Amino acid sequence: MRLDELGWDESRTRDFAPWAGRDDVRPTRVLIEYNHNFRVAGEGGDLDAVVSGRLKHQAVSRAELPAVGDWVVLRIRADEPRGAIIGVLPRRSHFSRRMAGQVTDEQVVAANIDVVFIVMALDHDFSPRRLERYLLLAHQSGAAPVVLLTKPDVEPARLNERLDEVRPVTGLVPLHVVNPRLGQGVDVVRACLGPGRTGALLGSSGVGKSTIINRLAGGELQRTRDVRTADSKGRHTTTHRELVQLPDGSLLIDTPGMREIQLWDAGDAVRETFEDVEAMAADCRFADCRHLAEPRCAVKAAVAAGTLAQARLDSYQALQAELVHLAQQQDERSLLEEKRKSKVMGKALKDFQRRRPRGKL
């Protein structure tokens, strides 16, 4: 396989320049990451790989380690059974979230993506509020978001009603209704891709992500299973993130369903995701209006007039509060990391002074 078939271009060649003179390294792209084991692809074919001890030690956070879609520097030696990843080339985009659980750290779900397909089913999975969170992370990733609504045949009588609920959330983001099980609308996905372009499918379990890949591939690349009809819950057929190449030369990353969509660093993405609320807020009397009980609040006036849904405003305010709390946790984590580094340096200095011969500087 040629590197350009995996998305390599001249800018990647420049990124790789510091290693270009070494005979024991080559550029590769991460196809699979599973329990700290990797499958990478390059001009020499597919290889198994692990992260080198030095790279693991130098990484300040998990986000600095390889993720599916990353371009990495792979070292290959005759005395090593697997390749060793010794570097990660700069990312053009990455979709990340806060790690599930109580750990305050960033988890990169997929890297170097051109387009993010947010897949949501028109059954019990349907949730405009969850879609807002996906869109927030998609805008923050640097990739172009596209929303795909699947399973329109579950409740066809409510399709227009559901679309009316979703359109204020998606705004200018492309929105498509597809039925991959029947092959309907798959061409819409194919048109967003193309040779060397990378897409990523994000959404809950059982919404049809693997079915979309299989339709695009013209065969069963990813296993699929039925969902429970009572609650539309999937069974996590996809258990790990994987980058696959499609017959037309495009690349697509399938991901397991996310039980938690915790934010990490939304930044300007809030303004893009809640463009309607932000536009109304510009007419508020106070620049720092929180849209609670302040006088002459244009956003509250829009809710009263029925031009903005109360649920939309509630979601906006909840996300703002969540981001403030996250920023506090990140600051605390940074302080703890600085203390840890200071301890390590102090211990190293004491060891050096203890071992140094007396009377010598």
What pLDDT score does 330 carry?
Answer: 55
pTM over 0.85: no
Cα–Cα distance measured from residue 88 to residue 55, given in angstroms and rounded to the nearest whole number:
9
pLDDT band at 104 (very low <50, low <70, confident <90, very high): low
Give the SS3 label for residue 12: helix
What pLDDT score does 47 carry?
Answer: 92
- pLDDT, tens digit, for every residue of 14-48? 999 999 989 999 999 999 998 889 999 999 889 99
What pLDDT score does 133 carry?
Answer: 84
> Which residue has tokens 């994000």?
202
Q: Tell me if 3-88 shares its fold with 274-356.
A: no
Which CATH fold would you assign to the domain 94-254? Rossmann fold (3.40.50)
- pLDDT, tens digit, for every residue of 256-308? 755 555 555 555 667 777 888 888 999 998 888 989 888 999 999 999 999 88
Q: Could you write out the DSSP letters of every residue in 146-205?
A: EEEEE-TTSSGGGHHHHHHHHHHHHTTS-EEE-BGGGTBTHHHHHHH--TT-EEEEEE-T
- 127: tokens are 């949730």
pLDDT at 236 over 70: no
Q: Is domain 3-88 given the CATH code 3.20.20.70 in the classification?
A: no
- pLDDT, tens digit, for every residue of 238-265? 457 899 999 999 999 988 755 555 555 5
- pLDDT, tens digit, for every residue of 319-350? 877 777 666 665 555 555 566 556 666 666 67
Give the SS3 label for residue 253: strand
Which CATH fold would you assign to the domain 274-356? Ribonucleotide Reductase Protein R1; domain 1 (1.10.40)
Could you tell me the residue ranges of all domains in the chain? 3-88, 94-254, 274-356
What pLDDT score does 228 carry?
Answer: 46
Q: Cβ distance 113 to 221 under 8 Å?
A: no
Extended strands (E) in the chain: 25-34, 37-42, 45-51, 71-75, 83-88, 94-98, 106-111, 115-121, 144-150, 175-177, 198-203, 241-245, 251-254
